[in-house]
Amino acid sequence: MKIRLTTYNLLLACSFLALAFLLTHYLFVGITTLPSEGDSINIHIPIAQRILSGKILLPLNHNIDSMYPAASELILALFIGLHFSLNLYNVLAIVLLFFTLVALGRTFTLSKPMSIFFAISITTLYGVLRYVDTQKIDVWMLVFYALSLLLLKKSKKGIRDFFLLGITLGMVIGSKYSGPFYAIILLCFYLKDLVKQLNVYKFFIFFIPLCILGATWYIRNYSNFGNPFYPQPFLFFTGDPHALYYAWPYWKVALMFPQLVVNAFISEYMIWVVTLVILPIVLFGNVLFKKFPEINSEKRILFLGIINFIFFIFLPSAPAHDYTAIVYGIRYSFPAFLVLQLSLFCIAKKYNLDKLLAIVVFTNLIFLLLPVNYHAKLLFLFVPIITILILFTFRYFKIVEDK
């Protein structure tokens, strides 16, 4: 028996059906429900409402949380102004993230099918889908970070590219207090390529939207409170005495509560948590043994991911150190994980592991569709078994390989 299907086409068809089911589900939930998540109601929606009222640049003493950066809440304000269901806010973000990641994969020379699998591997993470019916801005920040990386990777950048890069990096900087640091790290890795194509006109085309969307919120806070990162303390800047400070860095939380941190990463990144272990080993092996494994062309993006993750572990964690707070804090590592996952796909391409990686993407995804409660640790049993079964099925039915 011989079915004239390619491995990629069959896996893509099944993956798209699963993804379509998930998006349809969240679309229905978004239309039929109202905002209920705590930070969304107490922070993000009030910020968006202040944008619509024209008072976002003024100090607000009775709700200090409304003084956080508000770039991504500009989009939420648009939702409110147009009377769209607010629970569709992150549904749109995930759709845009998917198409952005497909384009990003293609820019890094992944094949079209593998670029799609790469996009699916990120957009169907439980940690990403956790926020789909909230108004938290982490998924939107990930969209703009991916767009910034996409624009910086382009070999030739015109005036429009510099303008768009100013917008996307401005949105990264203006979305969270971690944004400026992620943006600086990213620029450092591509600064040489950027400067080569820069002139005075392109600089201003880039710099103006960067400042408007990114720096405005920090200038506002410094002008109103003498602290650009208000209400949080930063270096010699003092924060608001009534704010719940983010104190412990994540490395300290990991030392004090290692089991909780490991469980949190498994919960949010599913089977792909192994990426955080495999890639540092690959990089160490490359540095130690020079040409084994051979990843010279992937080194820059791999280094970027690792530096991003090192930055993440020095970020201050939530004031509470229970399991729920640690799980929610994993979202601050989204930009780091995105780059590491991209590195994994690029290295897999070099070693012809595309088909295996595609199967793992599919099995990781369908785990979310099981009619049982989510138990992330079962992935380490479920994914290997289903992967072996799929490989056996391909061999038994003699499904042809892609040429």
How many Cα atoms are found within 13 Å in the side-chain-facing hemisphere of 192? 2
Residues 6+ apart with CB under 8 A from 123: 19, 94, 97, 98, 101
Contact 113, 8 (CB under 8 A): yes
Check whether the bond before 59 is cis (ω within 30° of 0). Answer: no
Q: How far apart are CA 392 and CA 336, in angstroms?
A: 35
Q: Which of 91, 92, 113 is nearest to 102 (CA)?
A: 113
Q: How far apart are CA 342 and CA 164, in angstroms?
A: 22
Using pLDDT thresholds of 50, 70 and 90, give the confidence band for residue 1: very low
Average pLDDT rounded to a whole number, residues 317-344: 90
Q: Is 318 left (phi over 0), alpha (psi -120 to 50) or beta?
A: beta
User: SS3 for 32?
Assistant: helix
Tokens of 46: 């009030």
Contact 311, 238 (CB under 8 A): no
Residues 6+ apart with CB under 8 A from 150: 100, 103, 104, 107
Query: pLDDT tens-digit profile of 15-56?
Result: 989 999 999 999 999 999 999 998 899 899 999 999 998 888
Using pLDDT thresholds of 50, 70 and 90, give the confidence band for residue 281: confident
Q: How far apart are CA 392 and CA 403, in angstroms?
A: 20
224, with CB counted inside 10 A (0-12, 13-18, 19+), is middle
What sign does the dihedral 2-382-90-209 (CA atoms) show?
A: negative
Higher pLDDT, 58 or 295: 58
Contact 102, 278 (CB under 8 A): no
Query: pLDDT tens-digit profile of 160-197?
Result: 999 999 999 999 999 999 999 999 999 999 998 898 89
The structure's pTM equals 0.93
pLDDT at 319 over 60: yes
Residue 3 confidence (pLDDT): 47
Query: pLDDT tens-digit profile of 110-155?
Result: 999 999 999 999 999 999 999 999 999 999 999 999 999 999 998 8
pLDDT at 376 over 50: yes
168, with CB counted inside 10 A (0-12, 13-18, 19+), is buried
Average pLDDT rounded to a whole number, residues 257-274: 95
Q: How far apart are CA 359 and CA 8, in angstroms?
A: 9
Phi, psi of 135 (to 5 degrees): -115, 20
Residue 22 confidence (pLDDT): 93
Q: How far apart are CA 398 and CA 317, in angstroms?
A: 51
Contact 144, 171 (CB under 8 A): yes
- Identify residue 259 by its one-letter amino acid code: Q
Residue 403 confidence (pLDDT): 47
Q: Which of 183, 114, 181 is nearest to 146 (CA)?
A: 183
CB atoms near residue 343 (< 10 Å): 26
User: SS3 for 292?
Assistant: coil
Using pLDDT thresholds of 50, 70 and 90, give the confidence band for residue 230: confident
Q: How far apart are CA 368 and CA 18, in angstroms?
A: 9
Query: pLDDT tens-digit profile of 364-375?
Result: 999 999 888 899
β-bridge mates for residue 234, sequence order? 237
Q: How far apart are CA 306 and CA 316, in angstroms?
A: 18
Q: Which of 356, 366, 361 is nearest to 117 (CA)?
A: 361
What sign does the dihedral 352-114-341-162 (CA atoms) show?
A: positive
pLDDT at 399 over 70: no
Q: Which long-range contacts (CB under 8 A, 24 or more apart) does 262-266 make?
A: 263/323, 263/376, 263/377, 264/323, 264/326, 264/327, 264/329, 264/330, 265/330, 266/376, 266/377, 266/379
At which residue do the structure tokens 């010699």 appear? Answer: 236
